[in-house]
Amino acid sequence: MKSRWYKDAVIYQIYPRSFCDGNGDGVGDIRGIISKLDYLQDLGVNAVWLSPCYKSPNDDNGYDISDYRDIMDEFGTLDDWQEMIDGMHARGIKLIMDLVVNHSSDEHEWFKQSRSSKDNPYRDYYFWRKGRGKDGKKPPNNWRGNFLGSAWDYDETTGEWYMHLFSKKQPDLHWDNPKVRQEVIDICNYWFDKGVDGFRCDVITYISKNQGLKDGKNPFNPLRGVENYCLGENWEKYIAEVNRESWSKYDSLIVGECAGINYEQAKQIADETKPVLDTLFNFEHMFVDFVGKFKLSRFKKIVARYQRMPSTVWTSNYLENHDQPRCIPRYVDGDEEYRKYGATMLATVNMMLRGTPYIYQGQEIGMTSCPLEEDEYKDIMSVNVIKMLNKHKIIKKLGMKILSKKARDNARTPMQWSGEKYAGFSTAEPWMKVNPNYVDVNAEKDRASEFSVFEYYKDLIAKRKQVSHILADGEWQEYYEKSNQVWVFSRKLGDAYVYVEANYGKELVEIDDRYTMDTTDAELLVCNYKYCEANVHIHTLRPYEARVYVKK
């Protein structure tokens, strides 16, 4: 029976390769995570979402899995993993594993068998098609991969093409084959039986491809074909099957990474009255600054829409993860004068929205995006973009500028634990560059400072739990909707309410209760400035100031 425990939870994402190195080889691992469990408990999070730690050749940093039932050698052993989850549970922390089943690695035994011959029993575990043209050397359709280039790769062994919506080393699993669906069910139950509390389902909206695999319609869409593989015709049927045979049997959280969907689709695929996902990550708010600068009014409009979701639909709130750059300086100024105020203001807003809030490792100390040289990018997408730019040098300068701001690498630099060499992440040179600001921005220094981002997060998490019922069930109201500097909103439940004000700029701004909400009967729950007048009819918000008023 589902208790929906995640509605009151705050979840912390760990990207294991970059979190903490426990054996001194420069790569984060499970022993490193074990060494930081007290840190997570002190922060007050209820669950950890652990990015993939399964066996993998690491073409896409673990999102290409060669064995779903074992641990990557670089990360440790199954015994290490068991000690980690036992330690989490002993501290009241649940574990959410990454479930990557739209595709596997081409080094998985299934694919090795599948490519060996056309009549192999595993052939239909993947998508194989004859090529177009007289010699069959043209891809079966015009679909493009998410990492640039065709979504098809030619295999000499059998003279056919296989589909890969991501890297060519990540062949797509053929979910129309009931044996594949049973494999997924068995994988889920295997980890549930070991104590896992749920799954974050990677690109889960792509698992069902429409019959015929027709050409993509929009020639200007770099992901041509997405309309044929995002929420394909059998998507809900397949998800319901896995839900029935696995997910629904456990008090779990199933959160889907739902690329390519819109608001109306979100309402359908994360409705708790249906056998689908418990909740989802949407991407609409992540694209408001894809081209050009961040504009708060556009961001607010998208988020507000999801905040008005039906009561049976639950969302996930995030500003950072392993696929997004750091929110500093993405949304606020990165100068040290403002960094902590910006970090805590953003934390305040994220924690006071309806839905489950996520914290990405380092966000709780105000880590920032990292300046990288061309040869320092590690992510497969970034490497492919650079290769493309080197072929079109007329746009390279602009392309590299965009990459520096948007690349996934920004969030994958090693966690900054201290001011020691390599930021206390490892005793050896890390697999990826450490952000040069680690001497000033690190967990040890932050927690010892008078104004600690970590301690603010800790207090904020505790305070959120006091009002989570109002955030979950209260009616949403927004003020100053067209402002590009302030975000002001409330949740009201009967006579109780939560009222939030946040300044997204470095300029002072006046807030007038006559145009918002009268908070004279409320208490000040939290403020990210040391001195904050509690109840003033007309008051001024300082740079990146955030306030939350509550009437319980």
Amino acid at 451: F
Q: Annotated catalytic residue: which of 202, 320, 323, 364?
A: 202
Phi, psi of 502 (to 5 degrees): -145, 135
The DSSP code for 104 is: -
Residues 6+ apart with CB under 8 A from 236: 268, 269, 274, 276
238 sits in which H/E element: helix 235-245
Find the angle CA(136)-CA(142)-CA(144) to the nearest 5 degrees: 120
Distance in angstroms between the alpha carbons of the first and the last residue of the chain: 30
Calpha distance 164→147 (Å, rounded)? 10
545 is catalytic: no
Query: Interhelix angle for 336-351 vs 453-473, to 10°?
Result: 30
Q: How many CB atoms lie within 10 A of CB 410?
A: 25
Enter the tokens of residue 520.
């004279």
Calpha distance 257→352 (Å, rounded)? 22
Q: How many CB atoms lie within 10 A of CB 436?
A: 12
3-state class percentages of the chain: helix first, strand second, coil last, to nearest 5? 35, 20, 45
202 is catalytic: yes
Enter the tokens of residue 85.
């989850």
Q: At 14, is the secondary structure helix, strand, or coil?
A: strand
Calpha distance 365→441 (Å, rounded)? 7
Enter the tokens of residue 504.
């997204």
Q: At 422, is the secondary structure helix, strand, or coil?
A: helix
Q: How many CB atoms lie within 10 A of CB 155?
A: 16
What number of residues does the chain have? 552
Residue pointed to by tokens 């009255």:
273
Q: Are 355 and 317 in contact (CB under 8 A)?
A: yes
Q: Annotated catalytic residue: which of 21, 257, 379, 409?
A: 257
Q: Are 236 and 205 in contact (CB under 8 A)?
A: no
Q: Are strands 509-512 and 486-493 parallel, antiparallel or unpaired?
A: unpaired
Q: Which residues pair with 80 in a beta bridge?
A: none
Calpha distance 47→6 (Å, rounded)? 9
Enter the tokens of residue 137.
């050397």
Calpha distance 389→189 (Å, rounded)? 44
Give a three-class secondary structure readout of 251-274: CCEEEEECCCCCHHHHHHHCECCC
Q: Which residues are catalytic?
A: 202, 257
